[in-house]
Each structure stands twice: as C-alpha cells, then as structure tokens.
Amino acid sequence: MSQRSPNTISRSNAPRHGHVFSPASRAYFAWQKGLLDEGALNQREAGKHFPETSAGLADPFAPDDVLSAAPPPDGKIASANQLTGALLDEPGDHWQKHDVRSGETLPVSWHFTANHPARRWDYFLTETGWDSSKVLSREQFGNTPFYTVQNNWQPFWKYPDELKPPSPTTHEVPLPKREGYQVLLAVYVVADTGMAFYQVIDLDFGPEDGGGERPETPTGLQSSDVTDRQVVLTWNESSGPHPIAFYRLTRNAVTTVDVDAPLQAWTDRTVSPGSTYSYYICAVDDHGKISAPSRAIEVRTLTENGAPTAPLHLHSMGETPNSVSLMWGASESAVPIAEYIIVRDDNEVGRVNGDLTAFEDTGLMPHTDYRYVVKALDQNDKVSPPSNVLSIRTIGEGSEYPAWALSTKYEKGARVSHVGNNWSCIQAHVSHVPEWAPGEGDNVLWLKEI
C-alpha cells in the first residue's frame, strides 16, 4: 500500500462542517465551477490558533478547550493544507473578487452542516503592499486579526447550546483602509476539537469616494411562501443621492435577476425541492452606482411532499463501552421542527427537542455494533427522510483495541477497532472527518491487522 500525507483524503460528496457563502469565498466559487465537490467545499480544516505554527497549544482565553492541531503552513493557507483544495493556494490576482470600500461594513455569512461549539471567528486582511504573485503567508496577513468575534462561555462542555452557532451565522465586519486587490482570511475556531476552518475571500477595494455616493444598502431581505418549487423574496425600499432604477438579486453568488424599482418583491421559480439557496440584494441607481450588498439569507426549499429535509451528516463524537454520543446537522421545514427521533437498529431509542442536534445513547453493550439514523418531526407531524446511516461499535471493556472515534488524536502505532476489525495507525493524525475512519477510502492512515 502506498503511503501519503494524512491530509490526502478521497474526494467525497459528504458535507462536512462549514464554509462562507456570502460574499462567496474562493472555495465557494471553485465549488460552483465544479472544481471542488461539496465535501471539499466544507473541508478547509486545519489546526487552530493561526498564525501560530505549532500543534498542542492551549487557547489563551479558554485553557480548557481542546489543544490545537497544527495550523496550515505558509503557502497552504487557502486550502487549509488539504490536498483536495490545493488549487486554492495558487498565487496571482486572477481570482474572482468582490467590490468593497474602506470603512464600509462587510456582512460575512457562514453556513454550517455540523455546528460544533465555536470559540471565536478571527478575520485577517492582507497588509498594504502585499505581493499577490507570492503564495499566501503569515507575513502577508500580519500577526493579529483586525476583527474578532468571540464566545466567552467556558468551559465548553458546560455550555454546548450557548456556544453552538446558528446556520447561517453573519458577522458585520468593518473593513480597514486598503486599496486594490486584497485577501480576507476568515478562521472559525472550534472549542471541542483542535481544529479551525479556513476560508479566503478575494476583495477589490475601490476608491473611498467611489466616484460618487452609492445608494443605501437594501434592508429587510426575507423569504416567504417557500415550497418545493418556489421562493418568494421581499425587501425594504432603498434610497440614495439619485433615484433607484432597479434591485439586483444574487443567488448562490451568481446574479439572478434585476427587478425594476419601485417593486420590492420577486418570486424565484427555478428552485429544486429539498435544496439550499443563498440570496443577497443590491440597489442600483439611475447613474449606474451599485450599493453594498445586503446581509445574505439562506433558504431551503421543501421536499416534494412538504416534509422536513433529512438531518445532515449524522456522526459520532465518541464511544464508551456503554454509550455513543451522536451529533447531526439541523433539518429545514416550513414549520418549526418539533422533535428529532433517534433510531437504533430499526427501533426508536429516544427523542430530543427540535432545537437540539445531539443525543447520548446509553445502556449499550461493550464491543457491540450498532446502526443509527435520525429523523425530524415537524409541528404538523410530518416526518423527514432518514439521515445517513451511522454504523458504530462501542468500546470493549479493558480492550487494547478501543473503538475508533472522531476528533481524536492518533499517534503512529495506535490501535483501534472498527467495523468488526482491528487496526493499527500508520500515520499520525487527528480524526476530524468520518471518511478518515479505518476501512474508508484508500486506507492511507490505518492498516488492518491479520
């Protein structure tokens, strides 16, 4: 078996943990062009505490948070040192950019498929005079973020709900003074693992006067009458130094339609059932001046029968001889989710309130295989399709082969059990995605013992 770096993993359509969809990140644009699959879009994950370079560091604010894995090295910041996104690290000024101005506030919106407890979001910007012909490095971003959003609850295990960010999460990021092409680095730092998620956003800073004042940014963008085939959008009237000519709506980072003023509504009838779409809006005046974009919203269309969408990315956060800790991404529905139903081996074993996305299944037998799915039940008693099937084995009591677990640091030579076999670790790594389990993909991390 050939051995590769532990950051080499198979391409996969399984969504992982999150990305910036507005303004579209470099990874998001690459996903739209078919250069990354959905798994790789959400896989920009490496060790936390950038711009540090070492692993094993404690959080200076929250020392009880899980110690860090290694942050990405210089030259591999945009990909987060993941080979599935190596194309994102290419130097140059050819990247698709967003028009901004110094001193304005930029709404940055994150989408989460599995929203772990968040410690903070750090925002870095390339320094004045940086060289776009060179790969992105710490030197180009400086030593400290220019803007940070931090959650102060600690220790993290006592405040799982308070630390868990909603999806979407939007930050109003004030832009410092810059000119021309710059790169914004957004880093989402997780409390309960050693990892962070890295997204780079390419910006083009125009002159501060912009050749004249722009219209006011439209406010109040919202969706209504969402079905499996349509989304109705409405917004508030904009104003400015010149009359508003039309409103420009953008869906999934691609301009969708121009709506003549004074209309303040539009129906998108080109959507598909059970799909997620992001929208933002700009105002354009009769002199051709375009406002800054509004806050983005995310809308998930209904399934064809009106039931909630399936819970996303069911996975285990760890096993003991007698328990399994489950976590999943939230379902979407036209009405609020009332409960999630947890099914083990085709039998219901528990329910949690609709605002929760975790469950501890107890009373299990050691060293035993179990299969789980989760379903959502909305307030109209409609049940979603099941989540992905999760097959897991509890740890054997006193076994030298404990069950493989997510978010665990494994050294070379470590032994685990998984899917009915025993395995030894052949490359040190942190198990931060389910596809790195023994027996999955190309088996570059584990060797089955005979």
Instruction: Identify any residues that bridge with 55 across adjacent strands, giving them in sequence order.
Output: none
- The CATH number linked to 330 is 2.60.40.10
**Is the same domain home to 99 and 37?**
yes
Whether cis (ω within 30° of 0) applies to the bond prior to 23 is yes
pLDDT of residue 164: 87
Give me the pLDDT at residue 2, please. Answer: 30
Distance of CA 36 to the CA centre of its chain: 14
Question: Which single residue is written with the structure tokens 């809308």?
Answer: 299
339 burial level (CB within 10 Å; 0-12, 13-18, 19+) = middle
In a domain, 7, yes or no: no
Query: How far apart are alpha carbons 52 and 68 in whole angstroms?
Result: 10
Q: Give the three-class secondary structure for 38.
A: helix
In one-letter notation, the amino acid at residue 261 is: A
Kindly report, residue by residue over 29-75, the tens digit of the pLDDT: 999 999 998 878 888 899 999 999 998 999 999 999 989 989 999 99
Judge if 285 and 388 occupy the same domain.
no
**Diameter of the chain by CA atoms?**
76
The SS3 call for residue 75 is: coil
Examine the fold and report which residue of 300, 334, 366 is the final residue of a domain before the chain moves on: 300
Same domain, 405 and 387: no
Same domain, 140 and 33: yes
The domain of 353 spans: 305-393
CATH number of the domain enclosing 449:
2.10.10.20
Cis peptide leading into residue 71 (ω within 30°): no
| Residue 5, in any domain of the structure | no
CA angle 199, 50, 97 (to 5 degrees): 30
Task: Give a yes or no: residue 341 inside a domain.
Answer: yes
Q: Say which residue the tokens 């107890």 belong to.
A: 362
Specify whether 386 is located in the same domain as 421: no
CATH number of 173's domain: 2.70.50.50
Of 300, 325, 341, the position where a domain reaches its end is: 300
User: Same domain for 173 and 29?
Assistant: yes
The closest of 99, 87, 75, 83 to 27, measured between CA atoms, is: 87
Does 97 reside within a domain? yes
| Mean pLDDT for all residues in the chain | 87
Give bridge partners of residue 263 from the DSSP assignment: none
The secondary structure of residue 84, as a DSSP letter, is G
Count how many domains the chain has: 4
Where does the pLDDT of residue 209 fall: very low under 50, low under 70, confident under 90, or very high at 90 and above? Answer: low
Is 6 a member of any domain?
no
Domain end position, chosen among 300, 315, 349: 300
- Give the span between the Cα atoms of 119 and 115, in whole angstroms: 12
Each residue's pLDDT tens digit, 91-123: 999 999 999 999 889 999 999 876 678 999 999
User: What's the confidence (pLDDT) of residue 18?
Assistant: 85
Confirm whether 80 is domain-assigned. yes
Of 219, 331, 232, which is closest to residue 280 (Cα–Cα)? Answer: 219
Q: Which is nearest to 296 in space by CA: 190, 409, 170?
A: 170
Residues 30 and 158 in one domain: yes
Residue 12 lies in a domain: no
Tell me: do 254 and 292 sit in the same domain: yes
Q: How far apart are CA 50 and CA 81, in angstroms?
A: 13
pTM, full prediction = 0.69
What are the pLDDT digits (tens) for 144-173? 999 999 999 999 888 888 898 888 899 999
* Residue 234 C-alpha from the chain's centroid: 26
Structure tokens at 432: 């931060």
- Give alpha helix (H) positions in 234-352: none
The rounded distance, in Å, linking the Cα atoms of 132 and 69 is 28
pLDDT (0 to 100) of residue 6: 31
Element (H, E) at 406: none
- Residue 419 Cα to chain centre, angstroms: 28
The answer to whether residues 38 and 68 belong to one domain is yes
DSSP SS3 for 124: strand
Residue 31's region, left for phi above 0, alpha for psi from -120 to 50, else beta, is alpha
pLDDT, position 9? 34
* pLDDT of amino acid 11: 36
367 domain residue, yes or no:
yes
Q: What is the pLDDT of residue 14?
A: 39
- Same domain, yes or no, for 191 and 320? no
In whole angstroms, what is the distance from residue 229 CA to residue 221 CA? Answer: 20
pLDDT of 7 higher than 50:
no
Q: What percent of the chain has pLDDT over 70?
A: 92
- Residues 190 and 101 occupy one common structural domain: yes
Instruction: Report the alpha-carbon distance of residue 85 to residue 93 in Å, rounded.
Output: 18
Q: What percent of the chain stands above pLDDT 90?
A: 56
pLDDT of residue 360: 94
* pLDDT tens digits for range 389-443: 998 888 776 666 777 877 677 877 888 888 778 888 887 777 766 667 888 765 6
Q: Domain check: are 232 and 282 in the same one?
A: yes
Q: Are 181 and 132 in contact (CB under 8 A)?
A: yes
**CB contact at 8 A, 213 and 135:** no
